[in-house]
Structure 1
Amino acid sequence: MHPVDHTLPDVLALAWERVVSDVADRQPAPEPAVLVGTAVAALILVLWRPAWRRARHVVTIAHEGGHAVVAMLCGRRLSGVRLHSDSSGLTVTRGRASGPGAIATFAAGYPAPTLVGLVAAVLLSRGYALAALWAAVLVLALLLVQIRNFFGLYVVLLAAAVVVGVSWWAAPEVKVALAHLGTWFLLLAAPRAVVELQRVRRRGRGHESDADQLARLTRIPGGLWVAVFATVTVGGAVLGVLLLAAGAGSPP
């Protein structure tokens, strides 16, 4: 027998079929040990400072992605996204300097990781761990074309490579574990990012923060905006925990 030579379109078609199949398939619910273990691992990433300094880039990706998506939904023009080595980021949009669109754009950042985590938790609760992973790949690919600095390219490409590698080659239980780890991390990390925001503001270095930008746009004090962010992220984390716990108890 002669080996079959596949053209690039053939390879892409086969890859697409594989992805579609993965997205449509349901995976068994994780064992309780996996659910608890991934939650503990995510908590360590959030609370242990050396790990947090690196893992926080994932939160920044979701945060800046939230700004970008809402800006476009509000009719603003997206000029680009920058991710920095200190885990800060910047999303540049063009449009009216005030008004509902500007307010919604600034308000979207801190709740965004929670929203992404909740969407993933819904998918996981219904057994669609691979769908959650491939959705993450799609989001990273869309963000990649808007990145405007080399470090940002590095961070997004690294995150995408990890998710694609696990989604394509890892054992099913590893895929399910990674999906849960990522979801736990986003849900638990979002409140910490809000705490850090308030710490920066207390030190007098938060004049350009989302909360203070919103204060100037709305005349609502920045502290109240921080309280709104805290309420959304903590409430979302609680809801996410309930969804993931319910999913673990569901039949495959």
Structure 2
Amino acid sequence: MGTDSVTADGIAEVWDRVVGTQPAPSPPVVVVAALVALAVVAARRPWHVARNAVTIAHEAGHGLVALLSGRRLEGIRLHSDTSGLTVSRGRPTGIGMVLTAAAGYTAPSLLGLAGAWLLADGRVTALLWGATALLSALLLMVRNAYGVLSVVVTGGVFFLVSWFAGPEVRGAFAYGAVWFLLLGGVRPVFELQAKRRRGEAPDSDADQLARLTNAPAALWILLFHAVALCSLIGGGQWLLGL
């Protein structure tokens, strides 16, 4: 058998592994994954660390929608206090700018919803490899050392689990990650609401949207809440097989 044949067989095997379906973890594993994700989101210290992953999704949402709406993405910065900044160039007003500003707080929940849909269809490996590919693409736009470290570590974890872990571990990890996005998409909106009440976030995404659209910032926060909670309910039903 020639080298080309072996290579082709290897590529075909990897492709089948990515696009194929895998059995879902047992219901107790799915519930435990949800409880662990909830504990991480609810507890102060674990949340402070894990929130970096939500910030990555938040800023990736800004960046992706900026590109899709025809804006020029200049770069993304992720900071150790779990804040982030996405800079894009283009018209300072208009639908593209509105969609870009609105994408941040909705991105983690919508990514979680998309992940739940994949897992409901048995696409565990596709989800893990898709997340690794998205993080690799995001890495090209990160412009500070802490941001590079955060994305590399997060992407590395997804890759290592997808390539080296057994089916049970891959399934449990994938379900835990999606539960975390769905639950972790809810808390930042409440944090934003609390900061604005204390006058600590005068230039938040909601305030920028208020200036762009003349709609109250509170209305945009209500939209963020609706997306997060609807995604959690819908995605949770898919993950639980309801």
Q: Deviation at 1:180? A: 0.2
CA 1:16–1:90 in 2, change beyond 3 Å: closer, same or farther? Answer: farther
CA distance in 1: counterparts of 2:13 and 2:80, whole angstroms: 35
Question: What's the secondary structure of 1:42's corresponding residue?
Answer: helix
Other-structure match for 1:183:
178
- Partner of 2:104, secondary structure, is coil
Structure 2 counterpart of 1:77, one-letter code: R
What is the distance in 1 between the residues matched to 2:185 and 2:67? Answer: 23
2:239 and 2:220 mapped to 1: Cα distance?
28
Partner of 1:162: helix, strand, or coil? helix
Q: 46, 63, 74: which is aligned to 2:41?
A: 46
What is aligned with 2:51? 56
Deviation beyond 4 Å, 4+ runs, structure 1: 13-18
C-alpha distance after superposition, 1:79-128 (max 9, x if no partner): 00000000111000000111111101000111101111111101100111
Q: Does 1:28 align with 2:33?
A: no
TM-score (norm 1): 0.91
Same amino acid, percent of matched pairs = 48
State the distance in 2 between where 1:52 and 1:36 align. 20
Measured in 2, the distance between the counterparts of 1:184 and 1:167 equals 17
- Amino acid of the structure 2 residue aligned with 1:199: A
Pairwise mapping of residues 93-242 of structure 1 onto structure 2 (< 5 A)? 93-242=88-237
SS state at 2:240 partner: helix
In 1, Cα distance between the equivalents of 2:34 and 2:92? 41
> What amino acid is aligned across from residue 65 of structure 1 in structure 2?
A
Residue 200 of structure 1 deviates from its aligned partner by 1.0
User: Once the 2 structures are TM-superposed, how far is the Cα of residue 207 of structure 1 from its aligned partner?
Assistant: 1.2
2:106 paired with 1:92: no
TM-score for the superposition, normalised by structure 2? 0.95
Determine which of 66, 73, 76 is the counterpart of 2:68.
73
Structure 1 segments unaligned to the other structure (5+ residues): 1-5
CA contact (8 A) 1:83 1:90 kept: yes
Partners of 1:79 and 1:94 within 8 A in 2: yes
For each residue in 1:22-52, what CA deviation from the matched residue of structure 2 results, as whole angstroms up to 9, or x when unmatched? 2122111210110001000000110011100
Provide the rounded CA distance (Å) in 1 between the counterparts of 2:50 and 2:200: 23
Secondary structure of the structure 2 residue equivalent to 1:93 = strand
The letter of the residue matching 1:93 is S
Aligned to 2:86, what secondary structure does the other structure show? strand
Amino acid at match of 1:167: S
CA drift at 1:19: 3.8
- The number of residues matched between the two structures is 239
Cα distance in 1, alignment partners of residues 208 and 13 from structure 2: 45
In 1: Cα distance, 2:71 partner to 2:110 partner: 21
